[in-house]
Amino acid sequence: MAEDQSRLLDFACRLADAARVETLGRFHQGCAAENKAESGAYDPVTEADREAERVMRALIEQHYPEHGIAGEEFGEKAGQGPWCWSLDPIDGTRAFVFGLPSWVTLIALLEQGRQVIGVIDVSRLDERYVGGPAGARLLRDSGEAPLRVSNCTSLAEARLTTTDPALFGADEVDGFGRVRDRVRLIRYGLDAYGYARLAAGTIDLVIESGLKPHDYNALVPVVRGAGGIIADWNGGDEFAGGRVIAASTQTLFDEAAALLA
Amino acid sequence: MAEDQSRLLDFACRLADAARVETLGRFHQGCAAENKAESGAYDPVTEADREAERVMRALIEQHYPEHGIAGEEFGEKAGQGPWCWSLDPIDGTRAFVFGLPSWVTLIALLEQGRQVIGVIDVSRLDERYVGGPAGARLLRDSGEAPLRVSNCTSLAEARLTTTDPALFGADEVDGFGRVRDRVRLIRYGLDAYGYARLAAGTIDLVIESGLKPHDYNALVPVVRGAGGIIADWNGGDEFAGGRVIAASTQTLFDEAAALLA
């Protein structure tokens, strides 16, 4: 089984390679965004999103036709057996549209609903964060290195990030404000890249709400493989509610979760 | 004089090359941050900030001993004559400390207080945005291209950025909220990189407050050289108040400025 998972992780990296061709080739090229939101909102999607998901789905159907697939742009395909791929071709489409380098491709493999392999591929930066049962690593063209979270145990010393402070609901915004007022530094706008840098030890805490399965599935093996904590706001695995905290240590997680409660 | 300025722009690029050695060599290497703020606040500075400014000052003193220098970390050195360099070795030290790629080195040359040459050097991304009397260009190892702002003329279609919504004063926050509520998309956390991407046409509007001379001097020639508008909130050149709007078109600038007033 360990050997199986090593082969599946290699395959996940092949999916990321294929997605890069579609995304990087359109980045900074005036790739037009359309609005996929309903009723007044604006939720951009580009040809890069669609083509990257299309090539990943085609590779999975070719090599693992019995696996299920759940992708952000083209929905769910039921599989036969325990395995299902979760795909977000471009997490951070807003960053992509702004010409910023922090957008990523998210790839996860689930076994009976449990995230066992995750890839956060930061194409523009040539940084690929992979996690699984054997731990987590950062892969670059120039080599690879193990990922390890920081040892931060106190909000007073913590580097916090969240994608957009306006995304918290009315029942969440006060709790987030209590955390924000206690941390050393805060940055915004990173989407999944914040979790990648948490795994790498340069961010200590990520707090978000409203995440969908294709947003969070790939993060779990990377953060846990790097020794970090990732859980719902109650400390459990109920990610389906969309509320996620990632922290470099359990002590830091608990301090943040208590203020959010 | 045009020839002089071409030579001075080449020299500004040599300064950026020298700064890169000091900054990139320490990025992701656990370069420790100290706190340079007084009384309770936290304003990080690293060895990378100090060493990058030191090498740039040394080069200027060697090649142009009569020029003045004003740097973020080591203060002002009066010159003899009209020329003065404005240096910010790492704009976005918070991004640097978070391991994010959006920090930049800012270099400007002023002639009798007027910004004539600007360099926004995004070392981690190998993107160097330069501006001067001959226009603005993006220089990369792989080649160069002219910079040109977008043709966005309406808040309803605009991509807006500001570094941190919490940095607006009590008399500014409502006006900023009025703009934010009308734009299509907003991103945070970019410091000077937002102006660089405005010059490149992937961001349409930047609104900030509290900028210091070393923050804004280099932006002016780049944004104007790319055909964009950069001015204080009243539409003038009174940048010393720290309130800056950059916009891809005058129409967009005016729409934002009216809501901020």
Predicted complex ipTM: 0.91
Residue B32 DSSP label: P
What lies within 8 Å, CB to CB, of A171 at 6+ separation is none
Helices and strands of chain B, counted as H and E runs: 8, 15
Cα B94 to Cα A3, A97, A190, B28, B111: the distances in Å are 41, 23, 14, 13, 31
Q: Are A87 and A56 in contact (CB under 8 A)?
A: yes
Map residue A88 onto helix, strand or coil. Answer: strand
pLDDT digits (tens, 9 = 90+) for A85-132: 999 999 999 999 999 999 999 999 999 999 999 999 999 999 999 999
**A2 has a pLDDT exceeding 70:** no
**Which of A66, A126, A98 shows the shortest CA–CA distance to B185?**
A98
**pLDDT the model gives residue A35:** 82
The structure tokens 């106190």 sit at: A154
CA distance readout (Å), B110 to B13, B90, B147:
15, 19, 21
Closest CA to A241 of A207, A212, A215, A206: A212
pLDDT of residue A5: 85
Q: Which residues of chain B does A188 touch, with a Cβ-Cβ cutoff of 8 Å?
A: 164, 187-189
Yes or no, beta carbons of B98 and A28 under 8 Å apart: no
What one-character DSSP code corresponds to residue B183? S
- Do the Cβ atoms of B149 and B226 come closer than 8 Å? yes
B242: left (phi over 0), alpha (psi -120 to 50) or beta: left
User: Which DSSP letter does residue A165 get?
Assistant: G
Residues in chain A: 261
Phi-psi region of A220 (alpha: psi -120 to 50; beta: other; left: phi over 0): alpha
The string of pLDDT tens digits covering residues A84-98 is 999 999 999 999 999
pLDDT at B34: 81
Residue A249's region, left for phi above 0, alpha for psi from -120 to 50, else beta, is beta
Burial of A80 (0-12, 13-18, 19+ CB in 10 A): exposed
User: Is pLDDT of B260 > 90?
Assistant: yes
- The answer to whether the CB atoms of A94 and B185 lie below 8 A apart is yes
3-state secondary structure of B35: strand
In tens, the pLDDT along A33-71 reads 788 877 667 777 889 999 999 999 999 999 999 999 999
Mutate to test the interface with B, among A185, A195, A204 (most CBs of B within 10 A): A185
Helices (H), chain A: 2-24, 47-63, 93-97, 173-180, 193-199, 213-216, 219-225, 250-260
Are B124 and A125 inside 8 Å of each other by CB?
yes
Could you give the percent of chain B with pLDDT greater than 90? 87
Length of chain B: 261
Q: What is the mean pLDDT of chain B?
A: 94
Q: What's the pLDDT at A113?
A: 95
> Hey, is the C-beta of A151 within 8 angstroms of any chain B C-beta?
no
The answer to whether residue B185 neighbours chain A at the CB level (below 8 Å) is yes
CA nearest to A158 within chain B: B98
DSSP code at position A148: -
The residue-averaged pLDDT of A244-255 equals: 98
Phi-psi region of A81 (alpha: psi -120 to 50; beta: other; left: phi over 0): left
Mean pLDDT to the nearest integer, B37-44: 73
Strand boundaries in A96-190, DSSP class E: 104-111, 114-122, 127-132, 135-140, 143-146, 159-162, 185-188
Q: Which two tokens stand for residue A151?
A: 């040892």
Compare CB distances from B187 to A30, A94, A200 and report the shortest one's residue: A94
Residue to test with chain A: of B104, B141, B152, B202, most A Cβ within 10 A: B202
What is the reported pLDDT for B5? 85
- Residue B215 CA to residue A245 CA, distance in Å, equals 34
Residue A69 near chain B (CB below 8 Å): no
Average pLDDT of A241-250? 97
A30, A101, A188: residue with CB nearest B188: A188
In degrees rounded to 5, what are phi and psi of residue B86? -115, 125
Residue B258: closest CA among B181, B180, B175: B175
Global pTM value: 0.93
Q: What is the reported pLDDT for B42?
A: 75
Q: How far apart are CA B102 and CA B92, in angstroms?
A: 7
What pLDDT score does B3 carry? 61
Q: How confident is the model over B163-208, as pLDDT tens digits?
A: 988 889 999 999 999 999 999 999 998 999 999 999 999 999 999 9
Q: Say whether A197 and B99 touch across the interface (CB within 8 A).
A: yes
- Whole-angstrom distance, CA of residue B223 vs CA of residue B229: 7
DSSP state at residue B36: -
Instruction: Identify which of A94, A101, A161 has the shortest CB distance to residue B125.
Output: A101
| Chain A residues touching residue B29 (CB < 8 angstroms) | none
pLDDT number for residue A39? 66
Q: Indicate yes or no: CB of B99 within 8 angstroms of CB of A124.
A: no
Whole-angstrom distance, CA of residue B128 vs CA of residue B122? 6
Closest-CA distance of chain B to residue A202, Å? 5
Predicted confidence (pLDDT) per residue in B58-82, tens digit: 999 999 999 999 999 899 999 999 9
Can you tell me whether residue A39 is helix, strand or coil?
Answer: coil
If pLDDT is split at 50, 70 and 90, which confidence band does A31 have? low
For residue A114, give the 3-state DSSP assignment. strand
The pairing of beta strand B68-71 with beta strand A127-132? unpaired
